[in-house]
Amino acid sequence: MATDKDTTTGHPVPAGVRAVSAAVVALVERPLFALDAATTRDTILALAELKSRLASYEYAVLAHAEEVQVGADTGCTSTGVWAANATRSQKNVSAAQVRLATALETRWHRVRDALAAGSMNAEQVRVVVNALEDLPDDLDAGLVTRAEEALVGYAVEFAPQELRQLGAHILTLVAPEVGEEIDRKRLEAAEAKAAQKRRFSLSFDGHGTAHGRFTIPEVQAKMLQKLLYGFAAPGHVNCTPASDDPEGGKREWTKGRPSPQKLGEAFCELIENYPRNNAPKLGRTDGTFITTTTFDLLTTALGTATLDDGTPMTAAQAMRLACEARIIPVVLGGNGEVLHQGRARRRFTAAQTYALHARDKSCTAKGCDWPPGLCHAHHDKKFSEGGLTDIEDGRLLCPHHHARAHDPAYEMKVHADNKVTFHRRT
């Protein structure tokens, strides 16, 4: 004879759980081929409601497990650890489940009841409880209740992602006079914290590829994402001519978002198209790269060219970038001489500085590798002593070595390779 009590403990709960499990097993054995589309839809919705009800009961049992300390007699440090070991789950996930179960049982009863009724799912519950737990501790109890009721109501219509956004500003929705000030303070704190985390690093693998990592605030990240999507879109959607239209008038749409490769291509295009007149100054230049090559190589697109920091590139790419005004080519003649200006000006012009970048490629002090954009243009012979503002009389020096070049305690010696060394005067 069947019984609704467990034969070991005499409690109906274990027997009921086994009965539910047996019913699910019986369902698995039933064929699905006879279900039409309408019935299938109804079944999926009913299963979702059933999952919510089961999740509600699971949370109730987990909260009770925390209360009776189920792991104490086995030496586990917490209920979450015991549950993780017993169910072969991740410890952090089980611990979070126990915390959520306790919160539902002790505080957020409206959320708990909505889950039990099947009007919320487990993911919505996690989002809503996180939002409620994030409310200020000193908030009026009536406002907390209104916030909980509002989020439970929103769950009928909105998915977890939208609920997360609503939860972040729930006080502004239910009590604007309070929520707007709290939101402002939160945003200020979040922005200050995000600003402190800003990082950017690049590494070059020596095989023509660079790898980078960065951490930036969400606002700027969204701006970057939108820019990249803008560059990626022309080759991403509405881009493939249909086979029945040789003229390309009718086009097919590519499904899905831009791939990582497409976004990488868009990133390169963004860098190449950044307007030079908006770039900050680097050594009296506007941050534009220059490339050095010969006239023959540039016009035939054969051979190689060199960026001002020494990075090699094909002459074909140099020609492409030069045509699109993204780099400035310095074309060398047979003797390699460029841009003489004599004593007409004391300071090197931007064009002359570009030429120094192309020639020197870095600080010219021996052993110094500061890039050209961070260097100063220096007269080997002081202008006040008759030095000329010519390329032959100039060189790149980093701020440290430039200061040393003007320090009367040091003497600068120019070597045959155009590198310089400094020695303290005796």
Give 10-residue mean pLDDT values along the chain (426 residues).
Answer: 54 86 88 90 93 94 93 86 92 94 95 95 96 90 94 94 91 86 80 87 88 88 85 54 47 62 84 67 54 55 63 66 54 45 55 84 91 84 65 86 84 91 88
pLDDT in tens, 72-91: 888 888 999 999 999 999 99
pLDDT in tens, 281-325: 655 555 555 556 555 555 555 566 666 666 777 766 665 565 444
pLDDT of residue 116: 95
pLDDT of residue 387: 64
pLDDT of residue 363: 93
pLDDT of residue 33: 87
pLDDT of residue 56: 95
Two structure tokens written together for 208: 């023509």
Side-chain-side CA neighbours of 55 within 13 Å: the count stands at 24
pLDDT of residue 289: 58
pLDDT of residue 194: 83
**0.75 exceeded by the pTM?**
no
pLDDT of residue 319: 58
pLDDT of residue 238: 44
